[in-house]
Amino acid sequence: MTKIIACIDGSAYGASVCDHAAWAAQRLVAPVEVVHALGRRDTSSAPFDLSGSLEFGGREALIGELAELDRQKAKLATTRGHHILAEAVARLRSDGVGEVTEKLRHGDVADTITDLDAETRLVVIGKRGEAADFAKGHLGSNLERVVRSATRPVLIAARAFRPVERALICFDGSPSSERLISKLTRSPLLSGTQCKLLLVGEASEHAQCRLRAAEQILKTCGFPVTVLIEDGEPDEVIASRVKADGIDLLVMGAYGHSRIRHLIVGSTTTALIQSCAIPVLVIR
C-alpha cells in the first residue's frame, strides 16, 4: 500500500506537517510514514590543510580530537532525530491516524523522497525547514528541490493547520492543467470540497473552452465548482483571491507553459508560496 510521507525536522512546521498529513490520511484512507533526514548541513570538522601549521604530533592529535567530535555530533543528531520522530508519531496518533511508521534517513530530504517514490502517494513538507532564514522570508532549499524532483503530489503545509473547506485551483489552459483536473477527480483528497477554478491572464477562446470543459468534469464528479477569469500578474491575482475568498488550500500544477509555471519551477520558487499563508498542493 502506498503511504503519505510526512517530512519533518526540528523546525516550527513540524506540528503542522503532522496535522496536514493526518487530514490527508483520513481523506485518502492511507497510512503515514514520518521521515526525518539528518542531512548534510554539518560538514566534517577536520581541517582541509594543516601542512606547515602544526608540528606533526600536534597535527595528529588535533585530527583525532576533531574525528571524535564528528562522532559525537553524529550520535547527538541521531538521538535528536529519534526524539523528533517519536513526537511526530505521537501527534499523528492523537490526530486519529491509526497506522503510523517512522524512518530516520541519512542524506538530503529530496534524495530521500526520490528513494521512497515507489511507495509514496503524497508528500507533506513544511514551507521552510530548520535551516531556512525566516527573517528574510526565504523558502527552504529542501522544499524547492522536493517540488522540482518529486513525481508524486506535494502538499506544502502552512504554519498552522485549518480544515480545508474551500480550494482554489489554478488553471492555465495547458495540457498539464487538464491532467491536474483528471488527477483531482480520481482522488478522494478533495472530493466534495468547494472549489474555485481560476484562469489568470487574457484567456484565448481555446483556453476558455478548456476551462469550461474542466468545470464540467469537476461538476460531473461531484465537486461544487465556480469559474473565475482575471487579468494581472498571477502571484498578485492569486494571493488577492485567496484572501478575499477565504481559501483554505491552493492547488497548482508543477508543469505548464504559462506565467503561473514560473512561480513553481522558475528561478524563484516562489513568491506565491511565500505570500499565501495557506497550504499549497502541487500536482504533476
CATH assignment at residue 219: 3.40.50.620
Q: In this structure, are 270 and 207 located in the same domain?
A: yes
Note down the domain range covering 17: 3-41+77-157
**60 domain-assigned:** no
Which residue ranges of the chain lie beneath pLDDT 50?
42-44, 46, 48, 132-138, 256-257, 261-269
CB 4, CB 88: distance < 8 Å? no
**213 domain-assigned:** yes
Q: In this structure, are 193 and 171 located in the same domain?
A: yes
Q: How far is CA 38 from CA 103, 130, 154, 218, in A?
A: 11, 11, 20, 41
Q: In this structure, are 140 and 182 located in the same domain?
A: no
Q: In this structure, are 94 and 195 located in the same domain?
A: no
Domain final position from 157, 186, 216: 157
Q: In this structure, are 223 and 88 located in the same domain?
A: no
Q: In this structure, are 125 and 192 located in the same domain?
A: no
Q: In this structure, are 87 and 151 located in the same domain?
A: yes
**192 domain-assigned:** yes
Q: In this structure, are 115 and 174 located in the same domain?
A: no
Q: In this structure, are 237 and 134 located in the same domain?
A: no
Q: In this structure, are 9 and 115 located in the same domain?
A: yes
Q: What sign does the CA torsion over 154, 37, 42, 111 have?
A: negative
Predicted pLDDT at 135: 41
**172 domain-assigned:** yes
**Which candidate, 199, 201, 207, 144, places its Cα nearest to that of 168?**
199
Q: Is 253 helix (H, G, I), strand (E, B) or coil?
A: strand
Q: What whole-number distance in Å separates Cα of residue 145 and Cα of residue 111?
A: 9
Amino acid at 269: T
Residues listed for the chain: 284
Q: Per residue in 143-168, is it b (16+ CB within 10 Å) or e — as a string? A: bbbbbeebebbbbbbbeebeebebbb
Domain final position from 130, 157, 184: 157
Q: In this structure, are 153 and 15 located in the same domain?
A: yes
Q: In this structure, are 84 and 120 located in the same domain?
A: yes
Number of folded domains that form the chain: 2
pTM: 0.83
**46 domain-assigned:** no
**216 domain-assigned:** yes
Domain final position from 157, 179, 197: 157
Predicted pLDDT at 91: 96
**101 domain-assigned:** yes
**49 domain-assigned:** no
